[in-house]
Structure 1
Amino acid sequence: MSSAISAVPRPVIYARQSVDEEQGIGQQLDDCRAECQRRGWQIAGEFQDNDTSASKERGPKTAWAAMLKAFDSDEFDTIIVTETSRITRSLVDVLDIRPPRRDIRVVVIREAIDTEHDDFMLKQLVLLAEREVKIKGARAARYAATRRAAGHPTPGKPPHGYRWVPQIERDSTGIRYRIDDAEAEDVRQIFREFLSGAPLGQIARDLSEAGRLTRRGSRWSSSTVRRVLLNPVYAALLAPAQPSGEYDATAIDLEACTPGSWGAIVERDHLVAARSRLIGTKPNHNGTARKWLLSGLAVCAVCSAPVRSARGETHPTARADGSGAAQTRRYHAYRCVQGHFMRNGDIIDDFVSEVCIARLSEVDAVQLVTPRADGVDVGVLHANREGLKTRRQSIARFVARGLMTDLEADDSLREIADEMRSISEAIARAVREDPLAELAEIDDVRAWWSGGTLARQRLLVEHLMTVKIHPVGHGKRVTNLDAAEKTVTIRWKRD
């Protein structure tokens, strides 16, 4: 370690900024290089910490740590910076570069500081900066508490379904989130399909195939759909703060959330139902995304094994006029895993679709789509949950007035938490939608079917019928709905 100033200084330049800006670091380097040139010093090195705070501990991977290591290896003896705040806003860091730990000469250009003569002013300025950081921190914490009490989210990019409202555009209530109608419909579809039983992967595929992409312009994935379903923001709930870098949506307690000031996209009960199905379940990021209506649903009429989708290929023969064969083409097909058939899937899908549309267009179809009553009164469950919240507040007042011991309060609060959890689970079960329920209010079934997602169409087939596909024999072709009817058997599950 070097403890004395050399006759000819060997300086390094240190540049730092808290926010990544294109010009900030470059300007610091230019000013320090000019100062070294003015003094006739040969620069021994340059160290840059971009997007790095000086009021927090700088880790071993920063340029600051590398610079200290270089000094310990006797590669330089002087640090030159533009301002004191570039070095640090903490006296602890100053003690890393000044005696007794290290004796590094520090030259600060704009504040005319040179520790070769005196380091009192350097330490004074750092102490003032450290005090300013603490005052700003306390002010920010107070503002954050006030903001949260009013139900306002932290600044930043809002989730899919909302747009950030700049301060100049806010009304008297100060609302920060505004619903984006197009994106909000994506969110509603995700909740609607998931609560109807659709897999995450199928929901993601349906959105992407319809051209409804994420805000970044990417295709949806199972993980992004899952994040939407877990996010309390969509029910206008502001979650408690979590440690920086440790956000976990599954750890959020909805009862500890603050009512948000923005508009909800989905109902709280639907959020509770979605979270109850996902929390405690290992995420499946691959998902089960089907591309065709009957893959995995229809069965072989011979062996009753589920059919799988496949890609068929035509093998045209030469034309009689000698002009050659038609072009080979690929087509969607269904195949029996036991090898009993491989058939063109498009005509079968069309036939099953027409059967569904015809059946659901009949007068008595409402009997098929009316959800079964389970005797659960969601209103009563809500009232019970609110009563438990009131009891929880009363216990806190009893403890504060000395009318209840901490031990007694813990037992009561644990009992209340268990009851509220049970109520939330009961509500979640009650609001899981029957996939056929919405059809009770639809007049044009064909339009609904044509505009519906593949996930919803598959759920309808799964709940209404069992489809059996028969072999047709080698070389035979089924090209119309009448022929398809003779080779596909449908057994109704709901009568």
Structure 2
Amino acid sequence: MSLSTQMPSTRLASYARQSVGEDQGLRQQVEDCRNEATRRAWSLVAEFADNDTSASKARGAATAWAAMLRAFDAGEFDALIVTDVDRLTRSLTDVLEVRPPKRDMRIIVVRGSIDTSDPSGDFMFKQLVLLAEREVAVKTVRAQRYARDRRAAGHPSPGLTPHGYRWIFSNERDHTGTRYAIVEEEAQDVRQIFREYLAGAALGQIARDLNEAGRRTRKGARWHTSTVRRILLNPFYAALLPPAQPTGEHDLARIVIEECTAGAWESIIQREQLLATRSTLVGAKSNHDGNARRWLLSGLAICSICRSPVRSARGETHPTARKDGSGTAASLRYHAYRCVNGHFMRNGDIIDEYVAEVCIGRISQPDSRTLLEPPETGPDIEVLNAQKIELEGRESAIALLIASGKMNAQAARDALDVLADELRGVNNEIARSILRDPLAELAGVADARAWWSEATLARRRAVIDALMVVAIQPVGAGRRVTTMDAAAASVAIEWRH
């Protein structure tokens, strides 16, 4: 920003910068530059400041650094003042931007009394930049080593903490250095998302159920299919630390579970659940429209005449005038089901209530588990987990052979490739086993009515779909079905088993 002052022979501009996004440090730098300009009785014609900007990385065209260079090229100032050399830059590449041969910008450094118009000052300026660049290189190597050690121990890096966890700061950590702690209220959302999806609920239906229950994301936003999908793909919930991905290329779908490290924090869901959800989502085209349902039987029940799926509708009453002459009652809207081929349109509340009672009665029976459990055609999940542990043990053994010099690099790579293929196959089998039994939680439910009242709409629909086909019958124009007996007489239940 330009400062309107009387222009002496030397026109001065200031530059301030810091790597962290705090205003206080910038204000102090700007104030120090102003004081120095006043002391020299020079005119400060422009001030440039970059907040949350590194001096060891390239600075883009939108930064104050770039604006300062453009202003100098336009002849708007003669010299640049900074508080310290490292506030201007920590890279020799940037020095080439401000000093000959590209530009002959005079640099004045408040601390150290450096002025590049003097040869010795120019030499000192460049030496200090070289020292700053070396310090950055040393810190980078140190940080990379720390990151490797941290990752090997299963600790995540700082950043956006997944919904369901909170970040534990260093002064709160236990002796193991755990970085994530479960936030139980948010973790319930995560468990519900996995449970509902594995029971066959659509992403849009899961999002709608969460929103209607008043649940929100950590930022207070409504749930969408995209956020539900990201949670279902995220290995952090199974306490798995994925390999680092290039900056700007983060993609949950591209993470290979077999390449993840065991995380040093408590999992919210089981690894097998994650494998099952990823097996159906990775490689599948994202559907952000969803197919969420609002009513129990829409798209699920059928018309008893044409066997087409029924759709939800909004019915409207048409009251007649009162006999006492006081007018007509207000028209009311109600939830209804309609046949797409026009065979009926019926009030849906009593039908939903009847079907719910039928379901509760059926899952209360001792043999309900046999109705919900699909035929066992695959290997036992305990056997698969044992195979997975054995394969992981072989991987550790190969690492020991390499370290002891008993296996060369090429042989090790070949053996690890074979192991990776076998481990991937076992993980896929585990995923299929989980998907074969999505309603296992209903086994031995003590209170079916309590389970039904607490279950989400998606969960109830999944049970209905597993147990029965609901065929709704026409009842004739003008006839109202208001009792459970009348509903039973006009709704046919066709059991699947």
- TM-score where L is the length of structure 1: 0.92
Whole-Å separation in 2 of the counterparts to 1:93 and 1:447: 68
CA contact under 8 A between 1:270 and 1:431: conserved in structure 2? yes
CA–CA distance in 2 between the matches of 1:405 and 1:167? Answer: 41
CA displacement at 1:281 relative to structure 2: 0.8
The Cα of 1:410 is off from its aligned counterpart by 4.6
Task: Identify the residue that residue 385 of structure 2 maps to in structure 1.
Answer: 382
Deviations for 1:7-61, whole angstroms, at most 9, x for unmatched residues? Answer: 8122222222211113233333333334334434333333222211001111233
| Cα distance between partner residues in 2 of 1:467 and 1:140 | 62
- The 1:420/1:164 distance shift into structure 2, 3 A limit, reads same
Work out the number of aligned pairs and report it: 489
Distance change in 2, residues 1:436/1:402 (3 Å): closer
Aligned 1:101-112 pairs, distance under 5 A: 101-112=102-113
Deviations 1:108-162 (A, max 9, x none): 2233222122312211221221122122222222222222222222223421111
Q: Is the 8 A contact 1:371 1:437 kept in 2?
A: no
Which residue, out of 172, 184, 190, partners 1:181? 184
Q: Deviations over 1:456-484 (max 9, x none)?
A: 10011111111111222222222222222
Call closer, same or farther: CA 1:32–1:222 in 2, change over 3 Å.
same
Q: 1:182 to 1:347 in 2, by over 3 A?
A: same
In structure 2, distance between residues paired with 1:35 and 1:480:
89
Measured in 1, the distance between the counterparts of 2:229 and 2:446 equals 33
1:438 aligns to 2:411 (yes or no)? no
Letter in 2 for 1:137: T
* 2:237–2:267 Cα contact (<8 Å) kept: yes
- Matched residue, 1:206: 209
Q: Check conservation: 1:371, 1:436, Cα contact below 8 A.
A: no
Give the equivalent residue in structure 2 for 1:3: none
Among candidates 247, 253, 257, match of residue 254 of structure 1: 257
**For 1:418-443, what per-residue CA distance to the aligned partner results, in whole angstroms no more than 9, with x for missing partners?**
22222111111012253432222211
Amino acid at match of 2:443: A
d(CA) in 2 for partners of 1:418, 1:143: 31
State the SS of the aligned residue for 1:28: helix
1:315 match: 318
Match of 1:290? 293
- Correspondence for 2:27: 26
Residues 364-391 of structure 1 show CA distances to partners (whole Å, capped at 9, x for unaligned) of 3343234432241223322333333344
Equivalent-residue separation in structure 2 for 1:402 and 1:447 (angstroms): 62
* 1:165 corresponds to: 168
C-alpha RMSD of the superposition: 2.3
Change (3 A) 1:151 1:255: same
Kept after mapping to 1: 8 A contact 2:16/2:30: yes
Question: Whole-Å Cα distance in 1 between the matches of residues 77 and 157 of structure 2?
Answer: 44
Which deviates more from structure 2 when the two are superposed, residues 118-127 or residues 413-422? 413-422
User: Which whole-Å deviations, capped at 9, do the CAs of 1:342-363 have from their partners, x for residues lacking one?
Assistant: 2221111111111111222234
State whether residues 435 and 456 of structure 1, in contact with CA within 8 Å, keep that contact through their aligned partners in structure 2: no
Partner in structure 2 of residue 150 of structure 1: 153
Whole-Å Cα distance in 1 between the matches of residues 170 and 414 of structure 2?
A: 46
**CA–CA separation in structure 1 for the residues paired with 2:258 and 2:158:** 23
CA 1:282–1:370 in 2, change beyond 3 Å: closer, same or farther? closer
Aligned residue type for 2:205? Q
Residue number among 350, 354, 357 corresponding to 1:351 in the alignment = 354
Question: Do the aligned residues in 2 keep the contact of 1:84 with 1:111 (CA within 8 Å)?
Answer: no
2:273 is aligned, of 263, 270, 273, to: 270
Which amino acid in 1 is paired with 2:144? A
Change (3 A) 1:7 1:98: farther
CA contact (8 A) 1:81 1:87 kept: yes
Counterparts of 2:24 and 2:332 in 1: how far apart (Å)?
A: 57
Aligned to 1:129: 132
1:300 pairs, out of 298, 303, 307, with 303
Report the CA distance shift for 1:262/1:411 in structure 2 as closer, same or farther (over 3 A).
closer
CA distance in 2, matches of 1:86, 1:162: 37
Between the aligned partners of 1:116 and 1:465, the Cα distance in structure 2 is 89
Report the CA distance between 1:79 and its aligned residue. 1.3
- Bigger Cα displacement from structure 2, 130-139 vs 92-101: 130-139
Deviates more, 1:230-239 or 1:289-298: 230-239
What is the SS of the residue equivalent to 1:8?
A: coil
After the TM superposition, which of the residue ranges 373-382 and 450-459 deviates more from structure 2?
373-382
1:85 aligns with 2:103: no
Measured in 1, the distance between the counterparts of 2:167 and 2:273 equals 24
1:110 maps to a residue whose letter is: R
Cα distance per residue 1:147-200 (max 9 Å; x no partner): 222222222342111122232322222222112222222211111111121111
Describe the superposition over 1:273-321 as per-residue Cα deviations: whole angstroms up to 9, x where unpaired: 1111111111112222111101110112222211111222222222111
Q: Structure 1 CA distance, aligned partners of 2:217 and 2:35?
A: 48
TM alignment of 1:209-248, pairs within 5 A: 209-248=212-251
Is residue 487 of structure 1 aligned with residue 490 of structure 2?
Answer: yes
Q: Matched residues in 2 for 1:150 and 1:399: separation?
A: 21
The answer on whether the counterparts of 2:322 and 2:328 sit within 8 Å (CA) in structure 1 is: yes
Q: Which moved more, 1:287-296 or 1:162-171?
A: 162-171
- Aligned amino acid, residue 158 of structure 2: P
Aligned residue identity for 1:15: A
- The Cα shift of 1:325 comes to 1.6
